Amino acid sequence: MKTSRRTFYFLVILIAWLPYWWAFFPIIVSYDGAAQLANFFGLSYPNNHQPYTAAAIMGVLIKFFMKLTNNNSTWSFALYAGLIGSCSAIVCSRLVVKFGTAFGRNIQWLSLLLFALFPLFPFYAFSYDKTAPFLIGIGMSFSALISIAIDKNLNNHLWELAIGTVVTSVFRSDGYYVMVIVLLACVVVLRSKQLLLCLISIIVLMTVITKVIFPMAFIAPGLPGDSISVPLQQVAYTVKTHEAQLKGSKLYDDLNKIMPLKKITEAYNPNLADYVKFNYGNTYNNENKSKKEAFETFLKERSKYGIRNFLKLWLRLGMKYPFDYVKAWIYQVDSYYSPTNDNEQEKSSGQLFMNLNQVWVQNRITDVMRQLNFSVDYNGSEFAKKFKNRLLTPLHNNNIIYKIFLSAWLYDWLLIISSLILLVKMIRKKVSIVWGLPFLLPLGVLGVAMLTPVDGGMRYILPVIMAVPMCIAVIFDTNHLNIKDKNREII
């Protein structure tokens, strides 16, 4: 019975998604996706700025489909999109069943409507972007954690959790950190040696990949500014605000030695750290060098921008202007909790759909596809063009649909409020502590999103949106957590 229901939900979700695939046929290539193609197929020196594990897996699949279709680029990308889209629909249908089992029929139908109709799920499901397989991994992990909370039995769901953790970790670096925290919490709550072994295995696997295999293959690590987006924003804002007082001081000179302060303060955007991040440290531009030479040159240059040295100066500046650091961080993340942000990312649907409506993004994608000789025949029908234009037309801040339903703040607050309600119930022992585990996953994702370079980026919080049915169930329908099944205790 459960299998037939899952099949029905899968078909409903997939059919609801098909118009997106048809309109963008054969695939939606994102800006990051184009960078991953360039990275894997040799247009740039191999690097881990976009996780190279993701670029390699996605690139290998494209190579396989190219062989399968006799080098037909259109159908190779179509097969890739069909595979990832189908896997995404399968994971979402499993979650619909799990939500129904845990919280009742109303929540089940709500989750089906969410996955079928919310535009970001099909948009990313049929895209060449690391976000799509990352969501598959997150969905599998989330599904396993809900099942563990339902029947308190780890053994039946260990493989789903382990596979989901690996997929999440290899497609996003921040996903790896979130899953380490989640697995550690699972080890503590469930007191499981199997999960401890799983956690250690994941850490060893990712360490071997990044610290052994990548250097042996001359794959450069991430850029110096990748992991310090928020601190860089804080320095840029503070120096820009107090430049007159700071200029000529030893602190200013020390900072200027490791980062071009004039360029960084001019590039500063309160809601987007990329402009500052890419002006800190060296890049991968090493023309006319072999992979080995480029790798060694990059490491030599990168060593000048050690995080430890930067953080010492960052701390000295922060002690002098602590409130400016707080302001800079608030400006960087305010779209995650407020509907009133005025920045350009927040004003247009480009923030929803990876800036696909921007000319510079389309130019970059077209250039990469041309250099790789990927001749893709996109759907050029008039109806498809109208559908895409409608989807990608900017929605301004005064648009109620965008302001409420297509902004990050609503879903973030649903998660925060429901987590607090659940915490109170756990303290009062009305709900088992095991239910904290599926909540920890989207909370970890939200925490990481607050450190990302894009303010209010919807793709960063898609796992939070996945958890909306669970959040609503806890806020409005928590009695379902205490219902006893005939065969097992749900909580």
Q: Is residue 249 part of a domain?
A: yes
- Please spell the DSSP secondary structure of 46-106, one letter per residue: -BSSS-HHHHHHHHHHHHHHHHHTTS-HHHHHHHHHHHHHHHHHHHHHHHHHHHHHHH-HH
Q: Report CA-CA distances (Å) from 154 to 44, 133, 194, 401.
A: 44, 24, 9, 41
Q: Is residue 277 part of a domain?
A: yes
Place of tokens 């510079």: 360
What lies within 8 Å, CB to CB, of 424 at 6+ separation is none
Q: Is residue 245 part of a domain?
A: yes
> Using alpha carbons only, what angle is made at residue 53 by residues 47 and 59, rounded to the nearest 5 degrees?
90
Query: Looking at residue 273, what is its pLDDT?
Result: 83
Number of domains in the chain: 1
Angstrom distance (rounded) from CA 83 to CA 81? 5
3-class DSSP state of 454? strand
pLDDT tens over the chain, length 491 residues: 567 888 999 999 999 999 999 999 999 999 899 999 999 998 888 999 889 999 999 999 999 999 999 999 999 999 999 999 999 999 999 999 999 999 999 999 999 999 999 988 999 999 999 999 999 999 999 999 999 998 877 778 999 999 999 999 999 988 999 999 999 999 999 998 999 999 999 999 999 999 999 999 999 998 888 888 889 999 999 999 999 899 889 999 999 888 888 888 888 888 888 888 888 876 776 567 788 888 888 888 887 777 888 899 999 999 999 999 999 998 888 888 887 555 544 444 445 676 777 788 889 999 999 999 998 899 889 999 888 887 777 666 566 777 777 788 899 999 999 999 999 989 988 888 999 999 999 999 999 888 877 777 788 889 999 999 999 999 986 556 554 343 443 33
Q: Is residue 280 part of a domain?
A: yes
Alpha helices in 303-381 (DSSP H): 307-320, 322-333, 344-347, 359-371
Q: Report CA-CA distances (Å) from 485 to 103, 151, 259, 429.
A: 12, 10, 61, 19
Q: Is residue 287 part of a domain?
A: yes
26: preceding bond cis by omega (within 30 degrees): yes
Contact criterion met (CB below 8 Å) for 105 and 9: no
Gyration radius of the chain over CA positions = 23
Handedness of CA 460, 466, 469, 470 (dihedral sign): negative
Angstrom distance (rounded) from CA 58 to CA 276? 29
Query: Looking at residue 346, what is its pLDDT?
Result: 45
Q: Is residue 288 part of a domain?
A: yes
Query: Looking at residue 423, what is its pLDDT?
Result: 93
Angstrom distance (rounded) from CA 94 to CA 143? 7
Contact criterion met (CB below 8 Å) for 15 and 65: no
Angstrom distance (rounded) from CA 294 to CA 401? 48
* 3-state helix, strand and coil shares in percent for the chain, rounded to the nearest 5: 70, 0, 25
Q: Please name the amino acid found at residue 228.
A: I
Structure tokens at 476: 């409005």
Domain that includes residue 291, residue range: 229-347
Q: Is residue 291 part of a domain?
A: yes
Contact criterion met (CB below 8 Å) for 73 and 370: no
339: preceding bond cis by omega (within 30 degrees): no
Place of tokens 């029908």: 381
Angstrom distance (rounded) from CA 439 to CA 430? 16
Query: Looking at residue 486, what is its pLDDT?
Result: 37
What lies within 8 Å, CB to CB, of 161 at 6+ separation is 140, 141, 144, 145, 148, 183, 186, 195, 198
Structure tokens at 368: 């990469």
Angstrom distance (rounded) from CA 13 to CA 20? 12
Angstrom distance (rounded) from CA 230 to CA 222? 16
